Amino acid sequence: MINLANSKHFVFGANFHGGAEVVNYPWDYTYTLHPDDAWYQTSSFAYANSAKANGPSGYFTGINSSGITNGAVWYLVNGGRQDWMNYTARCREVTIEVSNTKLPAASTLPNYWNYNYDAMLSHLEQALYGVHGVVTDHYGNPLNATIDVAQITGNYTSITTDPAHGDFYRYLNPGTYTLTVSAAGFPDKVISNVVVNANTKTTLNVVMGEAPHSQSISLQPGWNLMSFNIDLGANTLNSVFDANLRQLKDNRYTYSPQMASHFNTLTALNTAKGYWVKNNSSSTLSVTGQLLSCAAHPQSLNAGWNLVSYLPNSNMSISAALASIYSQLLEVRDINSAWVAGSGGSLSQLSPGKAYWVKVSAPCTLVYP
C-alpha cells in the first residue's frame, strides 16, 4: 500500500472496514485537531447523511447519532493507514466503517451495497469541489510545486502538485482564501481573494515566472541614442553588438572595438542606462531577458542635462512618461528632434529602445509609470 501511494499522486480517498457504522476522520494518533478539521467534518457528513437516508432505521448511528467521529476521540491508534495517507502522502482520506458486524455474511453484502451506493458517490463528488488547477512555468511545463493556504496553518496542511502533470486539488469549505504557490527556482506567487463556493470547483491555473522578453533595437548609420528595458543578465558588449559597432559611450565612459583595451573605460553594459552608439551601417540588436520594473529603477537627475534610459515597454507621451519630473522639466531631445517646455516641438512621444537627453531645472528623480 505504501509503495502504491508513493508511486501515484493520490489526493482523495477512503478505506472501508467492518466492525462499526461510522465515518472516521483524522487524526487517529493524537487529540490535536487537523487544521482542516472543519472540511473533514463537512465531507464526512456528506457520506454519513446519505448512508443514513438509504439504510435501515438506526443505520450509521451506532457510535454517535451524527454518523461521524474524530478518530482519536473514538480511540487512539498509532501508525494507522489513515494517518499515514494524510500525514505523509498528503492525501485527504477517511476511514468508513459500514457494518457493526466485522465480517458480515456474503448474503448480506447486496444490502450494504444498497445502503452505501449513493453515499460512495456523494463521497467521490467531494473530490470535484474546492480549488483545482495546474502549475506550470511560462513554457507550459508542469512544475513540482507546493500550495499553502494562509487561513489554514499548521503542520501538514500543504499540498503538492503531481510533478508529472502539475495538477493540484486543494479541498476547502466555502470561503475566501489566499494561496501561496512555491516551486524551486521561482519566486513564490501569492494569489489573494480565491473564492470557494459550496459544491462547485474553483479553477486556479498558475504560471510561475515570466516569459523572457525579446527587445529589438534598430540602429542607423552614425550616432544613435539607445537603452535597454530588460535585465541584461549575462549579456556582454560582444554578445549584444556586432561588427557594425564603432563606438559606445555613456555620459562618462567610452568603448571602441578599434581601440586598444587600455583605452576602453566602458567595460560592461549596465541595466537601465542610456548610451550613445555609433554604427558603421544599419543593424538591429536583439536581446532577451526579463522586463525591468520601472518602479524598481528610479533615475537620479542633476540640474541641467542628463542622459536617461527609457524603461516602459510601449510608446508614451512626454507628459505621461515624465510625469514624475514634469514640474522640473525644461527640455527633451533625441538625435533628430526636441521638445521644449511651454512650446512643444517635433518630439512628442518616447519609445522603447531609445535614450534621451533630458534637461531639468533642479535635482529630481525620474520614475516611469
Answer with the one of 107, 126, 145 that is the final residue of a domain.
126
Partners of residue 70 on adjacent β-strands: 25
Answer with the one of 86, 107, 126 that is the final residue of a domain.
126
pLDDT in tens, 218-276: 999 999 999 999 999 888 898 999 999 999 999 899 999 999 988 999 999 988 999 99
Vertex 191 angle, CA 233 and 25, to 5°? 130
pLDDT in tens, 127-183: 999 999 999 998 899 999 999 999 998 878 999 999 999 999 999 999 999 999 999
Q: What is the pLDDT of residue 290?
A: 87
Looking only at Cα atoms, what is the longest distance across the chain? 98
Residue 97 annotated as catalytic? yes
Q: In this model, does residue 308 exceed pLDDT 90? A: yes
- The alpha carbon of residue 67 and the mean position of all alpha carbons in its chain are separated, in whole angstroms, by 40
Indicate if 142 and 54 belong to the same structural domain.
no
The total of other beta-carbon atoms located within 10 Å of residue 296's CB is: 9
Indicate if 201 and 225 belong to the same structural domain.
no
Q: What is the pLDDT of residue 1?
A: 81
Range of the domain at 170: 130-208
Answer with the one of 193, 208, 223 that is the final residue of a domain.
208
Mean pLDDT over 332-360 rounds to 96
Q: In this model, does residue 186 exceed pLDDT 80? A: yes
pTM of the model: 0.67
Indicate if 221 and 362 belong to the same structural domain.
yes
The total of other beta-carbon atoms located within 10 Å of residue 147's CB is: 22
Please provide the average confidence, as pLDDT, over all residues in the chain: 95
Vertex 111 angle, CA 110 and 112, to 5°? 90
268/266 Cα distance (integer angstroms): 6
Indicate if 180 and 219 belong to the same structural domain.
no
Q: What is the pLDDT of residue 156?
A: 83
217/210 Cα distance (integer angstroms): 21
Indicate if 233 and 368 belong to the same structural domain.
yes
Q: Which of 21, 93, 97, 210 is catalytic?
A: 97
Q: In this model, does residue 117 exceed pLDDT 90? A: yes
Indicate if 368 and 244 belong to the same structural domain.
yes
Domain count, the chain: 3
Q: What is the pLDDT of residue 271?
A: 85
Indicate if 135 and 122 belong to the same structural domain.
no
